[in-house]
Amino acid sequence: MELCLQYLTKIDSFIWGLPLIIFLMSVGIYLSVRLNFLQIFNLKRALRLTIKAENEGQGDVSSFKSLCVALAATIGTGSIVGVATAIKMGGPGAIFWMCIAGFFGMATKYAEGVLAIRYRSIDKNGEIAGGPMYYIKNGMGEKYNFLAIFFAIATILVACLGIGTFPQVNAISDSLSITFEIPKIVTCIVLSGIVGTIIFGGLKNISVVASKLIPFMAFIYFLSAIFIIFNNHQNILPAINLIINNAFTGSAAAGGFVGSTVLVAIQSGIARGIFSNEAGLGSAPIVSAAAKTNYAAEQGLISMIGVFVTIIICIMTGLIIVTTNVWRGDLNGALMVSDAFVSNMGYFGNIVLAISLVLFAFTTILGWNYYGERACVYLFGVKSIKIYRVIFIALIALGVFLKLDLIWILADIVNGLMAIPNLIALLFLSGVVIRETKLYFRRIKKGK
């Protein structure tokens, strides 16, 4: 077992190493150029659409709710713990490269949103079915269906054994146990009940919960971050200078930090950035397809905002860590961020962080449940939905007690493998993305 774990760890490091990072970044850069850096020149329009989209046309939920579900699955512990991990590995310069990954990831996420609407279908229950599975099969052709099947299998494995269950459940139970001394068995019972109640109501229930929780928790975390950063206002400019300089020079050893090279800063920053915003992994277009809209490009712009929000949260977390100098200590991950909150806000800071982590993790469970469900529908039809939901709730209940490193590493590997068929499809169908974009903006110029 130990030998197997070592081999899988090496495979995991390879998949999330330079090959996949280069592939993901290359697609983002290519799409940015082809779309004339739409993420810069149409950011204002995208932000406006997020709030004021007409929500007309075929779909299950509003564009805003579909964005909230996508953010629910995206803004997880990776936006907090992932940033701390990137800084611990690559130094403050990793924050800069996380932003670079996010910038080009906005174009990738835009393309995913466009294709999600362009090639969506309707299942036998009359609900929208979409995502990479459908734009691979319907856009690239039946002969590429093996890529769609591969993607769907990977999505189910990640939803049930990885991001969607065990890590999030453990994060919730640990936070509640440490901060509020709530027994894990109580967390298990309550969490399973709440999740079951919500997911058996389908996407509409999930979207309602996500649209309430996402703005609330992002606002609370943002206010707390602003307070901590300005509480250390004398370190703001030095911190920004440190982040930019270290991005191109590497980080010297300081305190408990052992130092890193420029390559390590780039690799850790981009890898954690991609893991945080999920641009290119193909998860978000599954729910983007359900948005009520007549225009594929319109949903693409709204989807793009998901990455923008993630960038903001990552920057805030990074500035908290650097301005308070906790990155120089011996702590890592959530403990590093917790130290910054407690040292600036006392016990109240610990409560705010615990609640943020719990809500981030909880909404991630809901989002990934939907992704896994849609993948099941693609592979086995609508009759598999109830069976999938029961299994998912059972795994939530087990997640409180399991410490399965082997399963987590396997899920991490499969999560990376999700990106490969999706990126191939994005390149193959990039011409469709360009045509839909030009068509949309021609209509706008004509006042339609």
- Give the integer Cα–Cα distance in Å for 313 and 303: 16
pLDDT in tens, 50-86: 877 666 667 778 888 888 888 877 776 667 777 888 8
pLDDT of amino acid 177: 83
pLDDT, position 99: 93
pLDDT class for 89, splitting at 50, 70, 90?
confident
The stretch 240-266 carries a mean pLDDT of 84
pLDDT band at 12 (very low <50, low <70, confident <90, very high): confident
> What is the average pLDDT score of the chain?
87
**Res 359 pLDDT > 90:** no
Length, in residues, of the chain: 448
Q: Is 405 exposed, middle or buried (0-12, 13-18, 19+ CB in 10 A)?
A: exposed
Which of 28-32, 331-335, 364-368 has the least mean pLDDT? 331-335
Q: Which of 80, 70, 86 is nearest to 21 (CA)?
A: 86
Q: Residue 98 pLDDT > 70, yes or no?
A: yes
CA pair distance 276, 260, nearest whole angstrom: 21
Q: Residues 154-191: pLDDT tens digits? A: 999 888 877 778 778 877 887 788 788 888 888 888 98
Domains of the chain: 12-445 (1.10.4160.10)
35-39, 252-256, 282-286: range with lowest mean pLDDT: 252-256
Provide the CA 231 distance to its chain's centre, in angstroms.
29
C-alpha to C-alpha distance for 178 and 158, rounded to whole angstroms? 27
Model confidence at 234: pLDDT above 90: yes
Nearest to 362 by CA among 118, 193, 150, 227: 193
Give pTM, 2 decimals.
0.91
What tens digit of pLDDT does each residue of 398-445 get?
877 766 566 667 767 777 888 999 999 999 999 999 999 999 999 888
Which residue pairs, CB below 8 angstroms and at least 24 apart, start in 85-89? Answer: 85/268, 85/272, 85/332, 85/333, 86/268, 86/269, 86/271, 86/272, 86/273, 87/318, 87/321, 87/322, 87/327, 87/336, 88/257, 88/327, 88/332, 88/333, 88/336, 89/260, 89/264, 89/268
